[in-house]
Amino acid sequence: MATIPLQPTWQLGNWQGRDFLDFADHSALDLQDLLSLALDLKDKHKKGIPFRPLAGKTLGMIFEKASTRTRVSFEVAMFQLGGHALFLSSSDTQLGRGEPIPDTAQVLSRYVDGLMIRTFGHENVIELARYATIPVINGLTDLHHPCQVLADILTLFEKKGTLKGRTVSYIGDGNNMANSWLVAAPKFGLNLRIATPPGYECDSAVVEQAKNLAAQHGTEIVLTHDPVEAVKNTDMIYTDVWASMGQEEEQAQRLAHFAAYQVNGELVKHAKPDYLFMHCLPAHRGEEVTEEVIDGPNSVIFDEAENRLHVQKAILVATMG
């Protein structure tokens, strides 16, 4: 696979009017174009160059889960691109009172130019996209979080200069973050190792899909229960909270099961000396990661968080522009 160019060469013909629900829906070249666009838009932003291709357009943002980075990055992105973002919580719309998703999709398609949804079941996003006549963006589901992983990959590229052949190690719960990494990594030429406790593995269908993609793109996927094996000589270590939204009742049980999967000073000794540490945030310091790691010199969590803005802009321009 080609290396992402330092100078933007993006072509967005394949993106216009399409949804962004999951990495599996898009080719490696289309995703590379999206990352190149994000780099270009970030450069414009840093140089103070106005770029408002979405003037007069509105993004409807449906939130059934709490959010900091997703809401702020999408809202600011729309403003800086010349458009408007409309916040819609489930308690503020008829979705919260049982209106069918197809009805909501068709009505909102008459009002706004694109929809972003942050919800629980991935099937909700799929159904919304099926009935909407405008682009739909997955802001997070229990199965996938592609917007976050795209920002992570942008950060890795900026810090390391190349992606192909590098190794990313994910430690912790086989949740939506791990699932999105599984599908994205092969398409960007990355090797991926995932270490989860027994019983907390990634979605089996996603794993099978990822293994097929790895074979196509000549990359490696390793699934293990041994965190040391996962991080040995790796370029990047990634983790997430052990109990995601909706799993709060499992907190005590998960603390016991995940204790050996903490990213700490001992574990990171097995990585390359210049490894990067990333976390999608919010973090529970002292649980999945120690302060010496998350606040240490190898941590790039705030650069990673900033890149949500630039990736969100790219997704919006590509699908709604």
Q: List binding-site positions for carbamoyl phosphate.
A: 67-70, 94, 118, 145-148, 280-281, 308
DSSP 60-104: EEEESS--SHHHHHHHHHHHHTT-EEEEEETTTSGGGGT--HHHH
Sign of the dihedral defined by the CA atoms of residues 284, 244, 307, 115, in that order: negative
Helical ranges in the chain per DSSP H: 28-47, 69-80, 101-111, 122-131, 146-160, 176-187, 204-217, 227-231, 251-258, 265-268, 291-294, 301-320
Binding residues: 67-70, 94, 118, 145-148, 176, 240, 244-245, 280-281, 308
Residue with tokens 């916040």: 87
Query: Residue type at 262?
Result: Q
Sequence length of the chain is: 321
Q: Which are the catalytic amino acids? A: 118, 145, 148, 240, 280, 308
What is the side-by-side strand order in the sheet with 58-63? 84-89, 58-63, 114-118, 136-140
Beta carbons within 8 Å of 303's beta carbon, 6+ residues apart: 155, 158, 159
* Dihedral Cα 279, 153, 155, 231, nearest 10 deg: 50
Is the CB of residue 168 less than 8 Å from the CB of residue 187? no
Sign of the dihedral defined by the CA atoms of residues 9, 161, 138, 310, in that order: negative
Beta carbons within 8 Å of 314's beta carbon, 6+ residues apart: 34, 35, 37, 38, 41
Binding residues for L-ornithine: 176, 240, 244-245
